[in-house]
Chain A
Amino acid sequence: MRSILIIEDDRTIREELKFLLEKYGYAVSAAEDFGDIVTFALAENPNLILLDINLPFYDGYYVCRELRKRTKTPIIVVTSRSGDIDELMSMNLGADDFVTKPYNTQILLARIEAVLNRAFGAATLRHGELVLDVARSAVTFGQRGVELTKNELKIMRLLLMSGGAIVSRDEMMNELWQSNEFVDDNTLTVNINRLRKKLADIGAADGIKTKRGQGYSL
């Protein structure tokens, strides 16, 4: 399980973000005292740091620079300032990505995953006997495996990441839109049907269940 450290002084955002990221299977810790935040972050030694810019004591730029001197841990800067200068500054100080508030959670999750994959390689996701190798875009069930198209991979990944919980059609479409596939309702249905057939071919006949009016689940 990958760990994420949230450095954010707004309590609501900190707690809700923690809840959200935990739901998506990350081990999350959050800093509550910002006096010696750099030491704290180094001691936590997470896989990824989400760093706000407006912090008490030291601003995020300072923290980012200090952290970069001593660790290679990926850092995503999260800020409400949306100027080009801020983005440039963050990148110059060694941040790996830059997200502006208020963020779309799907976008934030996608960025987090992208940065983690870049740093540690793509993960394999599993649910029972079903194993998804994201890097190879392939799913295996027991001994048999099949390759997935880009859209099928995105849908499969979303289902696996939510770990059996229901994923709505809108969430799936959003996920596809986030990688510039602006599919409509019909295309999504086609994609899901193809994915179901592929899963059936490798023996996971009831791999994706339909929850009428709500969405799909594994």
Chain B
Amino acid sequence: MRLSDYLRDKAFFVAWSVAVAGFSAFLLYMVDANVYFALFVPCVYLVGAALSLVPEFVRKRSYYRELRSTLDGLDKKYLLSELVEVASFAEGNILRETLKTVSKAMNDEISRHSAASAAYREYIELWVHEIKTPIAGGKLLCENTRNARLSAELEKIDKLVEQALFYARSNNVEKDYIIKRVDLSELVSGVLRKNAPDLIERKISVETAELAHMVLTDGKWTDFILQQLIDNAVKYGCSRLRFYGERSANSVTLSVRDNGAGIPAQDLRRVFDKGFTGENGRRFGRSTGLGLYLCKKLCVKLGLDISVESRAGEGTTVKIVFPRSEMYEPYKNVSLP
């Protein structure tokens, strides 16, 4: 609170005081008082009035300055109402009470929403588990009646259902992951085994190289990320898929390279954006703009780095960097919260 702001607030009082002083000078002059006396008395009055404003100004300024610096220092601004102090003047307390009431109402609203969103997430998870049984039944039926095409469709349904599950969970990764030392080659092999029928039917040849590394990550989430990458490669028409590892001093990089359609240069920057489908989305259809978005989001939560290199018409390489922190080494196989 600056002095000029304060005085503007007090404009009426200031004008009134000046008017009273002027009027009293006029009266004194009228009753033939000495000119100096007629000016002196109003001046004394004005100085007194001005001084009476000082303590109030100092009090208010220090209170609001404190409030401001608390607010600036807060990471989560909405916690201000918990920290605002009792004021020594009435307006300050009105402000304080208002803040507290507003904040409480907002808290109630937020908890209502988070309860609703948690319930929704639980429902999605439950639903996903429920739907897996009919999908499994359908796949067995296809197997027994040798209906490969329907089986492939069910496979697609299963993958989309899986994506829904991971999307629902992706905001709470920290509650549902175990960072362990995982064998990179087993991680890749596991995803390839799962995708074998689809990749074989599409005559996609797969090569793996230099994958004998241990990396620190959560198996389930990484499996999901690799699944998205394979889905993309298949969707954008690759015929060769290559997985290779590379070790450096403090990280292991897994590269997934396909020879599919590639990504146009102008789209490359935005591939991790939510809902972005770009040129390829228009050409191939069936893009949700969620796959790479989820990959990026999960990588960030797992402490992995993910990047995409691509040239339109030549293919795409996705690189995932697993850090090799020495800090973790003493805690092999210990799960972190």
Binding site for B on A (CB under 8 A): 10, 12-13, 16-17, 19-20, 23, 54, 80-84, 100-107, 170, 173-174, 177-178, 180, 182, 184-185
Residues of A contacting B206 with CB < 8 Å?
Answer: 182, 184
**Smallest distance from the beta carbon of B198 to chain A beta carbons, Å?**
10
Please give me the residue from chain B that is nearest to A176 by CB atom: B196
The residue in chain B whose Cβ has the minimal distance to the Cβ of A180 is: B189
Does B196 lie within 8 Å of A84, measured CB to CB? no
**Can you name 6 A-B residue pairings with CB atoms under 8 Å?**
A16-B143, A80-B129, A80-B132, A104-B197, A173-B196, A180-B192
**In the complex, which residues of chain A have a beta carbon less than 8 angstroms from the beta carbon of B129?**
80-81
> In the complex, what residues of A have CB within 8 A of residue B136's CB?
10, 13, 80, 101-103
A17 — which chain B residues lie within 8 A by C-beta?
A: 140
* Given A81-B129, A102-B132, A174-B197 contact (CB < 8 Å): yes
Do A105 and B196 touch (CB < 8 A)? no
Chain B 306-329 per-residue mask, 1 if CB under 8 angstroms from chain A, else 0: 000000000000000000000000
Residue from the set B143, B193, B200, B206 with the largest chain A CB neighbour count within 10 Å? B200
Please tell me which one of the listed residues A16, A23, A170, A177 contacts residue B192 in the complex, with CB atoms under 8 A apart: A177
Number of chain B interface residues as a range:
20 to 34
> Given A80-B129, A80-B133, A105 and B141 touching (CB < 8 A)?
no
A175 to chain B, nearest CB (A): 9
A177 touches B200 (CB 8 A): yes
* A173, B133: Cα distance in complex, Å: 27
B137 and A13 form a contact (CB under 8 A): yes
B196-A104 in contact (CB<8A):
yes
State whether A174 touches B137 (Cβ < 8 A). no
Instruction: Judge whether A107 and B137 touch: CB under 8 Å.
Output: no
Binding site for A on B (CB under 8 A): 129-130, 132-141, 143-144, 154, 158, 176, 178, 189, 192-194, 196-197, 199-201, 203, 205-208, 220
Give the A-B pair count, Cβ closer than 8 A: 86
Kindly identify which residue among B132, B140, B154 contacts A105, using a CB–CB cutoff of 8 Å. Answer: B140
Closest B residue by C-beta to A17:
B140
Taking a contact as CB atoms under 8 Å apart, the answer to whether A101 and B208 are in contact is: no
Q: A16-B140, A16-B143 are known contacts. Are A170 and B201 too (CB-CB below 8 A)?
A: yes
A176 to chain B, nearest CB (A): 9
Known pairs A12-B137, A101-B136, A102-B158; A185 contacts B193 (CB<8 A):
no
Report chain A residues within 8 Å CB of B199.
Answer: 177
B144 and A16 contacting across the interface, CB-CB below 8 Å? yes
Chain A nearest CB from B302 CB (Å) reads: 15
A81 CB contacts on chain B under 8 angstroms = 129
CB distance from B240 to the nearest CB of A (A): 9
In angstroms, Cα B137 to Cα A10, docked, is: 8
What residue in chain A is nearest B218 (Cβ atoms)?
A84
The 10 A-B pairs of least Cβ separation, nearest first, read: A16-B140, A12-B137, A102-B136, A80-B132, A177-B196, A101-B136, A184-B205, A182-B206, A102-B135, A13-B137
In the assembled complex, how far is the CB of residue A60 from the closest CB belonging to chain B, in whole angstroms? 13
For B207, what are the chain A residues with a Cβ–Cβ distance below 8 Å? 182
Q: How far is the CA of A66 from the CA of B201 in the complex (A)?
A: 43
CB–CB B143/A101 < 8 A: no
Q: Give 14 A-B pairs besides A12-B134, A101-B135, A102-B158 with Cβ atoms closer than 8 angstroms.
A: A10-B134, A12-B140, A13-B136, A80-B129, A83-B176, A103-B136, A106-B196, A170-B201, A174-B196, A174-B200, A177-B200, A182-B192, A182-B207, A185-B203
How far is B196's CA from A170's CA once the two chains are assembled, in angstroms? 9
Q: How far is the CA of A107 from the CA of B140 in the complex (A)?
A: 13
Contacts of A102 in B (CB 8 A): 132, 135-136, 138-139, 154, 158
With A102-B158, A105-B139: A180-B133 Cβ-Cβ less than 8 Å:
no
From B133, B137, B203, B208, give the contact of A182 (CB < 8 A): B208
- B233 CB → nearest A CB, Å: 14
Most buried by A among B143, B176, B206: B143
Give the shortest distance, in Å, between A76 (CB) and chain B (any CB). 14
* Chain A contacts for B178, CB-based, 8 A: 84
Residue of A nearest to B197 (CB): A174
- Residues of B within 8 Å of A184, CB to CB, are 205-206
Q: Measured between alpha carbons, how far is A83 from B140 in the docked complex, in Å?
A: 23
**CB-CB < 8 A to A84: which residues of B?**
178, 220
Give the chain A neighbours of B192 by CB distance below 8 A: 177, 180, 182
- Set of chain B residues within 8 Å of A106, measured between Cβ atoms: 196-197
